[in-house]
Amino acid sequence: MTAADADNSIAAGDPPTGMDAGSFEAFVSEVSQFRDTVVAPNVNRWESEKRMALEALRDASEIGLLAMEVPAELGGLGMSFAQKCRIIEVLSAVSMPFAFSLVNTGNVASRVARLGSDTHRERYLADLMAGRRFGSTALTEPSAGSDFANIATTATPVDGGWRLDGAKAWITNAAHSDVIFCYAQTRPGSRGRGIALFLIDGTQPGFERLPPYELAGGHLIGTGGFRLDGYMAAAEDLLSPAGEAFIAALSSVNGARTYVAAMCCAMVEATLASAVRYGAEREAFGKPIIAHQGLAWKLAGVQNRLEAAQLLTARAIEAVTTSLRTGDASGAILPAAHAKKFATETAEADIATCIQAMGAEGLRSDHPGGHHLIGARIANYVDGSTEIQTDRIARSLAATYATG
């Protein structure tokens, strides 16, 4: 299948149909075991070493976690978007940063499978699915984040292809990724109308990896940047031409916002469960601390907001699934924005509430709260900040409620 065939297939609404129910539930159990035996015992060590968990990502590839949405005929699991979200939740109950790193390579593998040429698939797909290479999607730049249309990385046509120049920043997996979907401006000053999408190879001349960022936490995501200085992309490395790429990026972000909301739900639920278990065991003033109304009511509020976040996320998953089937992303924009805004805003506060309910014990690294608190803070930035979600919702008010 050529790149054009893949584009036509997606435009016609032909997403992966998903694993059958029995096989999927068995896979969920397998992922839970992987999470509990490989990820959970090592999260704190990886974070203290301030690095991506490369060995665990490679272990994850052995059960197909880097190929969730790659079609089965190309060696993947052929999962639906909803199934992917469920798996991400399972992993995020222990580590959102690990899950976020994993899903970004998986997303690149899926897009290579569906958008790439035969050459791209032969060159990159097996290595991505096996964890021999890692993937990133590069939109953000040092001077362009939320205002994506303002990117300054340029793509200049030359004989046989394109010359790319510029810098990218705040890129997930940038510490080690070298199969990268890179957005660049083909007509400076034209904003979204000139933005195109290229597949670039970080092992080639003209690519310079920058040191990963020193963050307060969440080093498993491998956040960093790179520079392009005379990077030569072949003609077939142009995956989406000027104008189309910008629209496609705005559409695909609906899915990302939705699974970030799912990650937040998983983090809150795991931290709440830890706080409740601790509260049932620890006594104060002659009874378990969970029996004190002040504490119990706070945790009840956490559960109440968690239920709301889960329902908003489920609605967004349904909307994204419909958009993938029909090729019309417009119906997923607001559900995704609502889910991400609510889930990220409440996650940070509610995880802190659960930590507080455990007293100083909640700060110990053998409880999940501290790691999840950093994960919740990260979630407020990725795939459109909380403020961007709020603005998107605000811009819909007149159309939704205005009369006359």
**H/E stretch holding 32:** helix 21-34
Provide Rg for the chain, Cα atoms: 21
**Can you say whether residue 165 is alpha, beta or left, with left for phi > 0 and alpha for psi between -120 and 50 degrees?**
beta
Q: What is the pLDDT of residue 14?
A: 60
Percent of the chain past pLDDT 70, that is, above it, reads 96
Strand partners, 184: 196
> 0.85 exceeded by the pTM?
yes
pLDDT for the residue 7? 35
Strand 135-138 and strand 224-234: pairing?
unpaired
Whether residue 80 is predicted with pLDDT greater than 70 in this model: the reply is yes
The model's confidence at residue 4, banded by pLDDT at 50, 70 and 90, is: very low
Check pLDDT > 80 for residue 224.
yes
Residue pLDDT, tens place only, 290-323: 878 888 999 999 999 999 999 999 999 999 999 9
Residue 309: count of CB within 10 angstroms of its CB: 25
pLDDT digit string, tens, across residues 153-199: 999 999 999 999 999 999 999 999 999 999 999 999 888 899 999 99
CA angle 87/92/94 to nearest 5° reads 120
Dihedral sign of CA atoms 350, 356, 357, 360 in order: positive
Q: How confident is the model at residue 103 (pLDDT cuts 50, 70, 90)?
A: very high
